[in-house]
Structure formats: structure tokens, C-alpha cells
């Protein structure tokens, strides 16, 4: 949830003259600060979605891509950016226009088997991703604290679950968004090591493909951790919850006011989503640059432990005493910050989807007693995910496998999202325009081709 507070300045249905006469919470501040406050209020689910997009699975996948293939996969950053923006904008638009989450929309307009398959695929992928993220958080923490990883996994799982049930998510996310700033360590490291920027830019805008299962498997993983199915359902539901939280629904308003309000919300959505996905994609680019210039350049082509992954940040702290420990600290903060933000979103996306399927009350702003079915799904998803690291599955490999699974699951869910986005019975005049269909179609084609090629090459042993 966004931590912003709605005011009359945000309400597009109040005439501008009336808005100027009403008291403003920012009146009396310097004009640049007033402008900044107004600008920050447009940031909400899209920004949180962008932060959660770089979850531990993303960090692990991007790090492995840079270590294994150097800068060869940098071209995916500019390719995925417009695709991710288009897909998440579609999801948010569905929520704003219909006032229902994605599963609720599918239930109202499509056959029940379609709904059940979509929700089942989502829940399976989310549960495995939860387990992979919990395992990575424990492995990263274990670099600093000599506590058994299995115990750390249990503590993280129950701590996150209790926080999600008893703490409003918008407050929870407000704190955790600051922890994700530790990912700036990859940006700083990239400038400190002074790589060959010309060759990196060339790699960024020159697609390179190796027809091997390993290379294309990472293409699918990068795709799956950047354009993730759980974010489809999460952002749609969060736009609805934002609207309810700030009383922006105009169901009883006249047609003109409704159209004006929808245009305002869609404009806010585009800005919010663009900034969130831009931040996520830039993080991907800098992680690959850093790991390719440190790990890959020194012969580390397979990241087997959290300790190896943390070594990519050592150039940033090399001048400090005990630089290895500082690098581990920065790496751990990044994994913990993104994990604590993403695990509730993964489990929450499953909760929204199942609750909407069976018409249960849902919402992270509701108390447990008001939406016990919704929170029960979150608890089951978290606790089932807990089983993965407890079975001693390699935490680094689990991150990449979870990303690959997300890439595979995204194919049928993108088909469904495009169908919803072009259905006038659902969205009326707000159906997809040609940019959404173009980039959404490219996203679907890229995922389908990468998955099929990976399967073929794996079967043939290449």
C-alpha cells in the first residue's frame, strides 16, 4: 500500500478554484517543497511493485547472469523496460476501471476452469518463490550471524506472517522501501570499478543470444523475475484498495465526474508505474554490470553461495578495514530489504486471488477477524514456502529456479491479461490502445519463444 495521504488537492472532481480556497496540509512550505509533496503523492502501488520486483530471486538471477555470461545479457534491460511498464499499466488500469482485482474480473467474465487454472498457477509459483526468498534471506543473514539457517528461515517466515496480519501493509512498506536503497551499493560499485562503459553500452543495445539451455534458461529467469505473474494480481488489487482507502470511488457521481476521475487516476498510474519499473530495470542493469566486472572478470562464473554473491560489492568498501565483512553487510541488507518487502506481496497476491475467486472479504487494511479466509491463504502460502529451505534446497539455485518458473507461468497469464485488456464489456472505452497491445504482444512472444527454446535445448542436451 502507498503511505501517501489523500487530500482535496488530489480530488479531480473538485473545481480548481474550490481546491485553492480549501486549506492545504502543505501550505506555508516553500514552493519547491510543495511541488515535491504533490509529486510524491502520485507514487503508490507502482513504486512498491517496482521495489518488490527486485526481490531476492531477482538479485540472485541478475547476479548469476552477470557472473556466468558477463555483459552478454545487458540488452534485456532496455527490451524489458517498456514491456514491464505496459504489462503493469494494463493490470493497474483493470483495477481502476473495474474496481475489482484480476481474479475477480476473470470470475465475472470468463469460465470457471480458466479462473481456477490461473489462480492455481499463480499460487504454485508464488509459494515456491516465497520459499526461495526465505532461504536466500536466511543464507544472507548467516553471513553475519552464526545462527543455523533453518532457524533463521523459521524466524523470518513467522515474523513476516505476524507483521502482515497485525501491521497495516502501508506502514510496513513505508519502512522497508528505505532498506531497498541498499541496492544502490551496486550502482556505486559500478562507478568505482570504472568498467569499459563503451563496451557495456554496446552490449546494452546489441542483442546477443547463445543457443544453449543455460543461456536461454537465464533469459527466461530474467524475464520471469522482471515481468512476474504475482505482480499482475498484486498491482490490480492494490489499485482497488488504494481507491477504497482514499475514498476515490465515484460510483454515485455523474458521468462527467466519473470520466474526469478515471482520466486523473490513469495519468497517476502511468507515472507511478513508469517510475517503479524504471527503478527495477535500472537495478537489474547495474547488478549485471557489477557482477560481470567483478565475479565474471575474475573467473567466478557460477555463484554457489551467498558469500560469493557478496564478493561483487567488495570494490565499494575495499579502502575500509574488514572490507569483506562490509560487503557482506551491504549484500545482506539488500536481500533482507527486498525480501521483507516481496514475501508479503507474494503471499498477499495469492491471498487476493483466492479470496476474489471465492468471494471472500480481502484486503491488507482489514483486520484478521474481518478477512480470516484471506489471511489464511497468506499463512498457508508462507508456511508451505517454508518447506523449501527446510528441505536443504540450495538457496541460490532455488532463486533462479523460482524465476524460471515465473517466466513459464507468465505465458498463459499474459494471454489472459491481454484478453481482459481488450474486452470492451470489462473496460469499456479504457481498453488497450495500440502501445499496450504492441508491447504486451511482444512480451508474450518473447516469453513463449524463450520458454520453448529452453525446453527444446534441454531435451536435446545442448
Please, which pLDDT band fits residue 16 given cuts at 50, 70 and 90? very low
pLDDT 10s digits, 173-201: 676 667 667 778 888 888 988 889 999 99
Grid coordinates given for 106 = 476473470
| 212 pLDDT more than 60 | yes
Q: What is the pLDDT of residue 52?
A: 61
| 251 pLDDT more than 60 | no
Q: Where are the domains of the chain?
A: 42-459
* Percent of the chain scoring above 70 in pLDDT: 83
Tell me which of 5-14, 42-51, 215-224, 394-403 is least confident: 5-14
CA angle 219, 225, 231 (to 5 degrees): 140
Q: What is the pLDDT of residue 54?
A: 74
Q: What is the pLDDT of residue 62?
A: 93
Tell me which of 104-108, 124-128, 201-205, 234-238 is least confident: 234-238
Q: What is the pLDDT of residue 19?
A: 43
The pTM of this model reads 0.85
pLDDT 10s digits, 304-325: 888 888 888 888 777 677 778 8
| 393 pLDDT more than 90 | no
Of residues 41, 32, 40, the one with CA closest to residue 7: 41
Which whole-number Å values give the CA distances from 150 to 58, 87, 153, 347, in the listed order?
22, 37, 5, 20
DSSP string, 79-138: HHHHHHHHHHHHHHHHHHHHSS-HHHHHHHHS-HHHHHHHHHHHHHHHHHHHHHHHHHHH
pLDDT 10s digits, 128-138: 999 999 999 99
Grid coordinates given for 53 = 520486483
Q: For 81-85, what is the mean pLDDT?
A: 95
Tell me which of 121-125, 136-140, 249-253, 360-364 is least confident: 249-253
Q: For 148-162, what is the mean pLDDT?
A: 93
Grid coordinates given for 213 = 539451455
Average pLDDT score over the chain: 84
- Tell me the range of 6-10, 59-63, 163-167, 183-187 where mean pLDDT is highest: 59-63
Q: Residues 390, 153: contact at Cβ < 8 Å?
A: yes
DSSP string, 24-50: -TTTTS-HHHHHHHHHHTT-SHHHHHH
pLDDT 10s digits, 263-273: 788 888 888 88
Of residues 386, 455, 447, 379, the one with CA closest to residue 418: 447
Q: Residues 119, 254: contact at Cβ < 8 Å?
A: no
- Tell me the range of 245-254, 258-267, 341-350 where mean pLDDT is highest: 341-350
| 117 pLDDT more than 70 | yes
Q: What is the pLDDT of residue 366?
A: 82
Question: How far is Cα 132 from Cα 102, in angstroms, rounded to an integer?
Answer: 25
Please, which pLDDT band fits residue 394 given cuts at 50, 70 and 90? confident
Is the CATH number 3.40.1180.10 carried by domain 42-459? Answer: no
Please, which pLDDT band fits residue 246 given cuts at 50, 70 and 90? low
Q: What is the pLDDT of residue 31?
A: 47
* Percent of the chain scoring above 90 in pLDDT: 49
Q: What is the pLDDT of residue 341?
A: 82
Of residues 53, 25, 40, 126, the one with CA closest to residue 349: 126
Burial label, 60 (beta-carbon count in 10 A; 0-12, 13-18, 19+):
buried
| 29 pLDDT more than 90 | no
Question: How far is Cα 314 from Cα 119, in angstroms, rounded to an integer?
Answer: 42
Question: How far is Cα 64 from Cα 70, in angstroms, rounded to an integer?
Answer: 9
Which of residues 296 and 5 earns the better pLDDT score? Answer: 296
Amino acid at each position: 500500500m502507498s503511505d501517501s495521504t489523500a487530500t482535496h488537492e488530489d480530488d479531480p472532481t473538485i473545481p480548481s478554484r474550490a481546491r485553492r480556497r480549501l486549506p492545504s496540509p502543505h501550505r506555508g512550505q516553500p514552493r519547491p517543497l510543495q511541488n515535491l509533496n504533490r509529486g510524491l503523492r502520485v507514487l503508490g502501488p507502482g513504486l512498491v511493485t517496482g521495489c518488490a520486483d527486485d526481490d531476492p530471486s531477482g538479485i540472485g538471477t541478475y547476479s548469476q547472469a552477470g557472473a556466468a555470461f558477463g555483459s552478454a545479457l545487458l540488452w534485456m534491460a532496455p527490451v524489458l523496460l517498456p514491456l514491464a511498464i505496459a504489462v503493469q499499466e494494463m493490470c493497474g488500469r483493470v483495477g481502476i476501471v473495474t474496481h475489482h482485482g484480476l481474479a475477480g474480473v476473470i470470475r465475472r467474465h470468463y469460465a470457471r476452469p480458466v479462473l481456477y487454472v490461473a489462480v492455481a498457477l499463480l499460487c504454485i509459483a508464488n509459494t515456491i518463490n516465497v520459499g526461495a526468498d526465505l532461504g536466500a534471506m536466511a543464507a544472507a543473514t548467516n553471513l553475519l550471524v552464526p545462527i543455523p539457517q533453518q532457524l533463521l528461515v523459521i524466524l523470518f517466515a513467522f515474523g513476516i506472517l505476524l507483521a502482515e496480519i497485525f501491521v497495516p501493509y502501508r506502514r510496513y512498506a513505508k519502512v522497508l522501501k528505505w532498506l531497498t536503497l541498499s541496492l544502490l551499493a551496486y550502482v556505486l560499485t559500478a562507478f568505482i570499478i570504472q568498467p569499459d562503459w563503451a563496451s557495456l553500452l554496446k552490449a546494452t543495445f546489441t542483442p546477443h543470444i547463445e543457443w544453449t539451455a543455460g543461456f536461454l534458461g537465464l533469459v527466461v529467469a530474467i524475464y520471469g523475475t522482471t515481468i512476474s505473474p504475482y505482480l499482475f494480481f498484486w498491482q490490480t488489487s492494490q489499485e482497488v484498495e488504494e481507491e477504497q482507502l482514499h475514498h476515490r470511488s465515484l460510483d454515485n457521481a455523474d458521468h462527467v465526474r466519473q470520466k474526469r476521475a478515471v482520466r486523473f487516476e490513469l495519468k497517476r498510474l502511468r507515472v507511478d508505474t513508469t517510475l517503479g519499473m524504471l527503478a527495477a530495470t535500472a537495478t537489474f542493469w547495474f547488478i549485471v554490470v557489477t557482477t560481470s566486472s567483478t565475479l565474471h572478470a575474475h573467473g567466478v562464473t557460477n555463484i554457489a553461495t551467498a558469500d560469493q554473491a557478496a564478493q561483487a560489492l567488495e570494490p565499494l568498501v575495499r579502502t575500509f578495514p574488514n572490507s569483506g565483512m562490509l560487503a557482506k553487510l551491504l549484500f545482506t541488507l539488500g536481500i533482507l530489504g527486498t525480501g521483507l518487502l516481496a514475501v508479503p506481496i507474494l503471499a498477499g497476491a495469492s491471498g487476493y486471488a483466492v479470496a476474489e475467486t471465492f468471494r471472500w472479504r480481502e484486503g491488507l487494511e482489514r483486520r484478521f477477524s474481518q478477512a480470516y479466509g484471506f489471511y489464511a491463504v497468506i499463512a498457508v502460502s508462507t508456511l508451505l514456502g517454508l518447506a523449501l529451505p527446510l528441505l536443504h534446497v540450495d538457496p541460490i539455485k532455488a532463486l533462479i529456479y523460482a524465476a524460471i518458473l515465473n517466466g513459464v507461468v507468465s505465458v498463459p497469464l499474459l494471454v489472459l491479461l491481454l484478453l481482459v485488456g481488450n474486452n470492451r464489456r470489462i473496460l469499456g472505452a479504457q481498453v488497450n490502445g495500440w502501445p499496450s497491445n504492441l508491447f504486451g504482444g511482444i512480451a508474450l512472444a518473447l516469453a513463449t519463444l524463450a520458454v520453448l527454446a529452453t525446453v527444446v535445448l534441454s531435451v536435446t542436451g545442448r
